[in-house]
Amino acid sequence: MLSILIPVYNYDVRMLVSLLNQQCTDACIPFEIIVMDDGSDQEIIQLHKEIRSFPAVKFIVNEKNTGRAAIRNRLTREASYNWLLFLDCDGMPVTNHYISTYLAYSKTRQGVICGGRIYPEQQPKADRILHWLYGKKNESKPATIRQIKPYRSFMTSNFMIEKGILIKYPFDESITGYGHEDTVFGLQIKQLGVPVIHINNPVIHNQLEPAAVFLSKSAQAVQNLAMLTIKYPALKNEVTLLRWYFGFFRFIARPVAVLAVKTEPVIITLLSGAHPWLWLFPVFKLGCLKKTLRDRPAL
């Protein structure tokens, strides 16, 4: 009935797998948990040999990192059941009825069911506050808010989907850079008319990154997004950053982007401390977009 699919890269998922295994066992359903390692260090791979002791768990190792889109497509092909539950390796269900909640919705719904993501209530170390604040403000949203724009709110961190949809409309494996494979997939299922429902069944995001890493990955994601607009021009109407830069507010956004490029070291400093100026984060991303377009004028 249910295939739980977890792509892993350098993260310990033993506790997550144990919890999911117990909830599925309690629900008395046919299930499997497939953990696919995408080129992790050997230390992590050795740790995960423990989860093979669960009868319903399969552990697969990719020798090389294949990317966030390709590994989800391979997990889909490996799955045995009709409903697929995708979880990021650094998410943890917050209730003991996480699985049963998804199962209840699967009986009456078709398409895609998104559970949502929240962040820890306790404030983290100073160098991780930027990621924490951003996540709480922009990603920790109740289902009622996410459902207003269901396709733009789609994230791969915690969702259930009918296998037939992903077999027919897989993730775009040409997306090998970091970020926005979920944005593209949300756009594709919107264009195809696949129904999406958002529910309150969140996982807590446990892997907060230092500001330097978070900003670096954010810059990579903006670069990837800019490249994706060539293949998917409709993204310019779907992503807030692109709507600012290419849309009605471009006469304000573009000068701000130029200023952001010139003052990037200062912006990074103001975002990286114990009290980050969070309002500067969109400015930082505008600067990243400007640099990408400057370096690749054909975009």
pLDDT in tens, 102-122: 999 988 888 999 999 999 999
Superfamily of 2-205 according to CATH: Spore Coat Polysaccharide Biosynthesis Protein SpsA; Chain A (3.90.550.10)
d(CA 188, CA 156): 14
Joined tokens for residue 168: 């027919």
The pLDDT score that the predictor gives to residue 299 is: 54
Point out the residues of the chain with pLDDT beneath 70: 295-299
Summarised one tens digit per residue, pLDDT across range 189-228 is 999 999 999 999 999 998 999 999 999 999 999 999 998 9
Q: Where in the chain is the domain with CATH 3.90.550.10?
A: 2-205
257: helix, coil or strand?
helix
Q: How much is the pTM?
A: 0.92
> Are the C-beta atoms of residues 225 and 179 closer than 8 Å to each other?
yes
196: helix, coil or strand?
strand
The pLDDT score that the predictor gives to residue 255 is: 94
The pLDDT score that the predictor gives to residue 221 is: 93
Chain centre distance of CA 225: 14
d(CA 265, CA 239): 25
Joined tokens for residue 137: 């403000």
d(CA 119, CA 131): 10
The pLDDT score that the predictor gives to residue 157 is: 92
Residue 105 has what DSSP assignment? H
